[in-house]
Structure 1
């Protein structure tokens, strides 16, 4: 059965009307019909079986049948936040998409001192809306049952505050002491993890120093220099293998 995310809390026995983009995807792209069964994932992470009762010209009605599981996104996997120094637009789109596929809980972009791109305040709301749409589409494609929030912070310090209390790991290509394997071996499985990845050109020494003073541990991913669109994604995959649901 096809799985869809809905922005409401569902109750068995009730009905749900779908319109807009999700309606078009279900009817015009997937060619679903009345009496087809689907899986709906609601805002609290629960899954429900539903049946399409009726399809109209601009909306459809589903009957909610039964609740049958809790979101895999909520079953003991550490909540992972990616704090990303703002890269060029196409690279950040890719980062959002792949981080979502890998189960990231939230993404916080911020203008690093070495960020090539600077977003005017007048364009920021439009950018954030677009970023969250990319995350929503990636969640649907990967059959996630939750959508990660993509937000923006004015500074690195504000981004770290937004990440809250967590294990904080900053990816720093010049780190000579803290190897990732040994660092992770010394950490019990946490409830929350924050990954900090720099933009093109990486973090400045000032940013690294500031992050360390805010509780971040700098780690190296090895002898090769990774692109900004590779580093955070690689780290997410490693942490999902170490503490999450990969493998």
Structure 2
């Protein structure tokens, strides 16, 4: 069995035979976390559909240098584009939902403020969270071998987010009171806008307004799911029906 080659993300153009000095975070990861040494190989991805096989050629004073050996095109993106509007929940739950939804193929995430969000809307605190969520997304891509980094938008109020869409999107909101299931959606869907509420759900007024903006209320099943579970379950079901998850 082949040993798995470690992966790192580099936010720059990469060329074959180029020498690259890694930043402190990547150097720390390969030297202190992975305990890699000179001559060992790793894979670089850079938000393109290419991966670059590279080799460590120098480690000196907390700085590592690699050389790019070759590049290979690898597109593992789902044919289904999902824009997830995810109500902001407490740290661990939000972090977990973002990580797993990225692994499942979500393309865009917009954190949403709704009435029942029990989160302080402090601007400084939100900016800190945004940086952390971006790092979670990169780490998730590093682990699941996605090469295109999904986008995370700034936090938006639900009333602003719900009115934004394009003509090609099928708009869905999770609603345990609905009688409509995913199987009742049209068979051809390549672009989904999915709204998942917080632990207390959307308020009755929010749900009414969302439905007025042509979101289809969808019931996942008989049980009431936690926010993070609902998001993961919905994305999984959508990928199985319209995307590339295999049954």
Tell me the TM-score normalised to structure 1 length.
0.89
Please state how far the C-alpha of 1:92 moved relative to its aligned partner: 0.8
CA contact (8 A) 2:163 2:213 kept: no
Q: Output the CA distance in 2 between the equivalents of 1:162 and 1:66.
A: 41
Instruction: Give a deviation string over 1:7-47, Cα, whole Å, max 9, x none.
Output: 11211122211121111111111121222222111122311
In the other structure, the counterpart of 1:48 is: 52
CA 5–163 in structure 1, closer or farther in 2 if over 3 Å, else same: farther
SS in 2 for 1:146: coil
Q: How many residues align?
A: 241
Query: Aligned pair 1:25/2:15, yes or no?
Result: no
CA contact (8 A) 2:103 2:144 kept: yes
SS in 1 for 2:42: strand
Structure 1: which 4+ aligned runs deviate by more than 6 Å?
A: none
CA 128–45 in structure 1, closer or farther in 2 if over 3 Å, else same: same
CA contact (8 A) 2:11 2:46 kept: yes
Please state how far the C-alpha of 1:57 moved relative to its aligned partner: 1.7
Please state how far the C-alpha of 1:244 moved relative to its aligned partner: 2.1
Q: Output the CA distance in 1 between the equivalents of 2:35 and 2:11.
A: 22
Of the three residues 1, 14, 20, the one matched with 1:16 is 20
Q: Residues 145-160 of structure 1: matches in 2 within 5 Å? A: 145-160=147-162
Instruction: Give a deviation string over 1:167-214, Cα, whole Å, max 9, x none.
Output: 2111011112x222122xx23031x21211010111122212222232
Q: Output the CA distance in 2 between the equivalents of 1:42 and 1:158.
A: 32
Instruction: Give a deviation string over 1:43-91, Cα, whole Å, max 9, x none.
Output: 2231111122212122211111222123312xx5222121111222221
In the other structure, the counterpart of 2:175 is: 172
Q: Output the CA distance in 2 between the equivalents of 1:237 and 1:22.
A: 31
Q: Output the CA distance in 1 between the equivalents of 2:160 and 2:37.
A: 48
Q: Residues 225-244 of structure 1: matches in 2 within 5 Å? A: 225-244=224-243
Tell me the TM-score normalised to structure 2 length.
0.89
CA 163–129 in structure 1, closer or farther in 2 if over 3 Å, else same: farther
CA 48–161 in structure 1, closer or farther in 2 if over 3 Å, else same: farther
Structure 1 spans left out of the alignment, 5+ residues:
none
Of the three residues 102, 115, 118, the one matched with 1:116 is 118
In the other structure, the counterpart of 1:193 is: 192
CA contact (8 A) 2:189 2:242 kept: yes
CA 218–103 in structure 1, closer or farther in 2 if over 3 Å, else same: same
Instruction: Give a deviation string over 1:94-153, Cα, whole Å, max 9, x none.
Output: 111211221211211111111122321232211111121222222223332233233333
In the other structure, the counterpart of 1:130 is: 132
